[in-house]
Amino acid sequence: MPCNTEVTVQVVTPSQPIRLRTRLIGVDPHRSLIFALGSDNSWQEAKKFLKPGQPIIVRLVNSDEPDANILAFRSSIRKLLSSTEPWLIIDYPKALQKVALRQHSRIAVNLEASIQVMPVEGSDEVETTQLLSPGQLSNISINGGAFIGKILQEISVDTPCLLQVKVLQETETMSIPITIKNIQDIEYGRMRGQYGFELSGEKSETEAFVQKVILNHLLQQPK
């Protein structure tokens, strides 16, 4: 993996995780990874937690390969160096989660999510969106995916909707516009079904959304 790769470090705290943006400085194989130590507001907020033994979660996308590899792993801080260049040194990961993000491949996930119907342009609806179906996002690609939830008559093929996905260990919810392409009944007694959909956002928006979805799925897997 090339140096200067952009990295997100999530510091696990008793209240709310703190996300820090940094870059890869170097690797000491099987011993440690070296990241740049930042100085912005997020880093200042996290300062009291940045000490040896502190658990962290690392996420990055290696776009240096034909298929962008999404990587995620858990680690802990080894030490901080600030004498010359400010560095954050962490333990080398014992286990690495890796997924290649390809154009047409569907990646199985299992994340809490919901689908909301988008209002018709020019309508007099008071609410901009209406919560229709809570459930789980079951797979995703940069073109589309599948959502499993309650079958409701308000959702049909070609209905424009908003997909919302709960982010791991955070209060944040990610959202992106989608278009329903097919609906399949899977549990008749409970009126549950699978909604196949296409992502309707801009390319950069959809790629960022899918990357974050996959990273969050990887990070909720057993250690």
pLDDT of 36 strictly over 80: yes
pLDDT of 221 strictly over 90: no
Integer-rounded Cα radius of gyration of the chain: 20
Asked, for residue 170, whether it belongs to a domain, the answer is yes
My answer on whether 83 and 152 are in the same domain is no
Full-model pTM: 0.66
My answer on whether 185 and 122 are in the same domain is yes
Q: Provide the number of structural domains found in the chain.
A: 2
Kindly give the residue spans of alpha helices, DSSP state H, lying in the chain: 41-46, 203-219
My answer on whether 95 and 115 are in the same domain is no
Residue 12, beta-bridge partner list:
none
Pick the range with the lowest mean pLDDT from 30-34, 59-63, 180-184: 59-63
Q: Residue 35 to residues 43, 58, 91: CA-CA distances in angstroms?
A: 13, 11, 11
My answer on whether 186 and 213 are in the same domain is yes
My answer on whether 81 and 31 are in the same domain is yes
Residue numbers of the domain that contains 72: 6-101
Most confident range, picked from 13-22, 123-132, 154-163: 154-163
- CA–CA gap between residue 133 and residue 194 (Å, rounded): 11
My answer on whether 127 and 78 are in the same domain is no
My answer on whether 147 and 186 are in the same domain is yes
My answer on whether 73 and 113 are in the same domain is no
pLDDT of 119 strictly over 90: no
Asked, for residue 1, whether it belongs to a domain, the answer is no
Asked, for residue 215, whether it belongs to a domain, the answer is yes
Give which of 157, 163, 162 is closest to 213, Cα–Cα.
163
pLDDT band at 223 (very low <50, low <70, confident <90, very high): very low
Of 49, 80, 101, the residue that ends a domain is 101
Whose tokens are 């033994």? That residue is: 53
Asked, for residue 208, whether it belongs to a domain, the answer is yes
User: Which one has a higher pLDDT value, 42 or 171?
Assistant: 42
**Per-position b or e across 183-198, b if 16+ CB within 10 A of its CB:** beeeeeeeeebbbbbe
- CA–CA gap between residue 183 and residue 197 (Å, rounded): 9
Of 48, 74, 101, the residue that ends a domain is 101
Residue 191's region, left for phi above 0, alpha for psi from -120 to 50, else beta, is: left
- Specify the CATH number for the domain of residue 95: 2.30.110.10
Whose tokens are 């298929």? That residue is: 67
Give which of 100, 116, 97 is closest to 163, Cα–Cα.
116
Q: Residue 216 to residues 30, 64, 111, 193: CA-CA distances in angstroms?
A: 25, 21, 8, 24
Q: Which tokens hold the place of 78?
A: 């080894």
My answer on whether 111 and 93 are in the same domain is no
- CA–CA gap between residue 59 and residue 10 (Å, rounded): 8
Asked, for residue 39, whether it belongs to a domain, the answer is yes
My answer on whether 36 and 89 are in the same domain is yes
- Specify the CATH number for the domain of residue 208: 2.40.10.220
What burial class does residue 13 get, using C-beta atoms within 10 Å of its C-beta: 0-12 exposed, 13-18 middle, 19+ buried?
middle
Say how many residues make up the chain: 223
